[in-house]
Amino acid sequence: MTEIEEIKQKLDIVDIVGQYVSLKKSGKNYKGLCPFHGEKTPSFMVNQELQIFKCFGCSEAGDLISFVEKMEGYDFRQALETLAERAGVKLKEFSRNENPEGNRSILFEINEMSKKFYHYILTKHQVGKSALDYLLTKRKLSLATINTWELGYAPNSWSSLLEFLLKKGYQEKDLLRAGVIMPDKFELKSNDKFRGRIMFPLTGIDGKVQGFGGRTTTDREPKYLNSPETSVFHKENFLFALNKTRMDIKTLGAVIVEGYMDAISAYQAGVTNVIATCGTALTMPHLKIISRYTKDLIFCFDSDSAGVNATLRAIDMCAQLDLNPKVAILPAGNKDIDDLAKSGNEAVKKMLAAALPAYDFVIKTVEAKNDPKTAIGKKKIMEEVCAFLSRSQSPAIKSHYAQILGDKLTVSAESILEYMQNHNQERMPTHLNATVSLSTVKSPQDYLMALIFTQDKLDKSKEILQNLTPEDLAQSQIFSLYSKLVDYIEKNGNLSIKSFIDGLAGEDLVKARELSLWDVGDFNNLKELTETVKRVKKESDKRKMSSLTYQIREAERKDDADEVKKLTEEFKKLSEKIAL
């Protein structure tokens, strides 16, 4: 038994998840409000038998280790150590051949060595001189800042890093897995992933380099290029600079900017509580990580329309987590905080000190594109602003801004609050559709398999499944799963659902795990199974009728009266069968 297997055997995912989420029993599963995105109706399911979870709202899924990774912002090793301590399992250092995560430690080694290579090229080698001049003169970074952030330069050659790392004893397959090289599309060889780019190490809070961001110094596209997703780097959970700024964030709040260049320039300007996303929009997992350090945020995104829209989306997400966001307004002529930093530290500090409360920014933005003096303008302003305010969890905030908005639109605050309440109720069905019956919104084929997986054993459904034919499920996504299930029932005396699922692989395993997490509730399972089989058969008959309609037309076109008669009789029988 491996250490991971021992940890999973000693711990229960229901207990682990239950520390973060209030879970309630629902049939064979447990359900609760998803911790990874805001919701008011539970769509987060946990299966105790299979020790897995999935949110059907945001699609986050995994086992107890990946759950802790996502909740705590840990890498795999950190999550494993946390769970091992709780389980009383002593972890040994993974050797390169024993690491069950595909040898994660070697990926960190490769990234660390790559960082040193890039940094040397930038600061010590002639090849990096022009890039260094670019950072010092055009971007106004000091040499101290360049060294603090361990910036580097990837030579504009096909294999400089590859050759360097191979000489250091690393294997090409591991370099590919680390994402520092990539296979050539046209030749049977690999090339450096990053070429001719300023390199930014993407370092986790544990000090380990998870990946890289590369910025071109020319007009080459793309301007920014990030490491691919690997077993040690996940963009949606990564926040640039958090490793350096998290302690100041605890006391000062967080200043959130768009990219790593913005973050470094802001840090150099004295903003020691800055963080940035990395080549991706701000996500709910990002905000969940930030919320562990502070509830006070200042967004300072680019001043263009894309930046404004990103800010509005961020404000909307903050409401779901009950955070306190503000928005820094860049002075005219500055497209981002990196631009402003060139004007000096005081300019940056002044802008941040004058940051607007989030809903003041919303009102200002909406007012700028609508005329509050016209009826239509008032209507649009109320609709758009209230769409944001209605999501706030604070009655005080709603009341405060209802008064402000009412004064602007010459409408009573009570009317604004009433509109917000109605707007919130109208929105709920689109976001809270988890309560809709799965039997009506999902395909009967999928629903049938989900019902089967709610049982402990297959013996009850064995006889019912015999009423189906392969043809009934031939066009279904679960046909492969169904075929394997029938084969398993025929060949095995042990009719355990868990044993069947554990024996699957690939897409079948993924699909089976997802179906086992469906919230099919507590009802007469056998009766529901029987009814669902009837629905599957009926759909199958309808498909046959559709096919027969086409065949009848073809026979008529060929003037084949006998064939038309024969097919018409078949069509009639199926029609009568469906009507029953």
SS (H, E, C) 315-383: HHHHHHCCCEEEECCCCCCCCCHHHHHCCCHHHHHHHHHCCEEHHHHHHHHHHHCCCCCCHHHHHHHHH
| Domain assignment present for 342 | yes
Lowest mean pLDDT among 228-232, 316-320, 470-474, 539-543: 470-474
For residues 444 and 575, state if they share a domain: yes
Residue 30 is predicted with a pLDDT of 92
| Domain assignment present for 399 | yes
* CA 483 and chain centroid, separation: 32
CATH number at residue 58: 3.90.580.10
For residues 444 and 569, state if they share a domain: yes
Across the range 439-468, mean pLDDT stands at 72
Which tokens belong to 97?
Answer: 């051949």
Position 194 pLDDT exceeds 80:
yes
For residues 548 and 571, state if they share a domain: yes
CATH number at residue 555: 1.10.860
For residues 344 and 270, state if they share a domain: yes
Residue 95 is predicted with a pLDDT of 43
Helices (H) then strands (E): counts for the chain: 28, 16
For residues 138 and 164, state if they share a domain: yes
Q: Which residue in the block uniquely carries the two structure tokens 């008959």?
A: 541
Q: Does residue 222 have a cis bond before it (omega within 30 degrees)?
A: yes
Residue 455 is predicted with a pLDDT of 74
Which tokens belong to 8?
Answer: 């999973």
Which tokens belong to 35?
Answer: 């911790």
For residues 556 and 471, state if they share a domain: yes
Angle between helices 104-124 and 76-87 (to 10 degrees): 140
Separation between Cα atoms, residue 501 and residue 212, nearest integer Å: 38
Picking from 445, 438, 392, 442, the residue whose alpha carbon sits closest to that of residue 417 is 392
pLDDT band at 433 (very low <50, low <70, confident <90, very high): very low
* CA 398 and chain centroid, separation: 30
Lowest mean pLDDT among 50-64, 243-257, 341-355, 419-433: 419-433
Which tokens belong to 375?
Answer: 């009826």
Position 166 pLDDT exceeds 60:
yes
If one compares 262 and 76, the residue with the highest pLDDT of the two is 262
Which tokens belong to 70?
Answer: 């996502």
Across the range 73-81, mean pLDDT stands at 82
| Domain assignment present for 479 | yes
For residues 337 and 367, state if they share a domain: no
Residue 54 is predicted with a pLDDT of 93
Across the range 360-385, mean pLDDT stands at 93
Q: Which of 24, 56, 87 is the last residue of a domain?
A: 87
Q: Containing domain of residue 488, as a range?
A: 438-579
> Around 285, how many Cα atoms within 13 Å sit in the side-chain half-sphere?
20
Contact 172, 138 (CB under 8 A): no
pLDDT-above-90 percentage for the chain: 50
| Domain assignment present for 92 | no
Q: How many domains does the chain have?
A: 5
* CA 448 and chain centroid, separation: 28
Mean of per-residue pLDDT scores for the chain: 86
β-strand pairing of 274-276 with 254-257: parallel
pLDDT band at 323 (very low <50, low <70, confident <90, very high): very high
For residues 184 and 257, state if they share a domain: no
| Domain assignment present for 167 | yes
For residues 494 and 403, state if they share a domain: no
Q: Which of 354, 381, 413 is the last residue of a domain?
A: 354
Separation between Cα atoms, residue 108 and residue 256, nearest integer Å: 27
For residues 470 and 488, state if they share a domain: yes
pLDDT band at 102 (very low <50, low <70, confident <90, very high): very low
Separation between Cα atoms, residue 329 and residue 364, nearest integer Å: 11
Q: Which of 87, 122, 153 is the last residue of a domain?
A: 87
| Domain assignment present for 99 | no
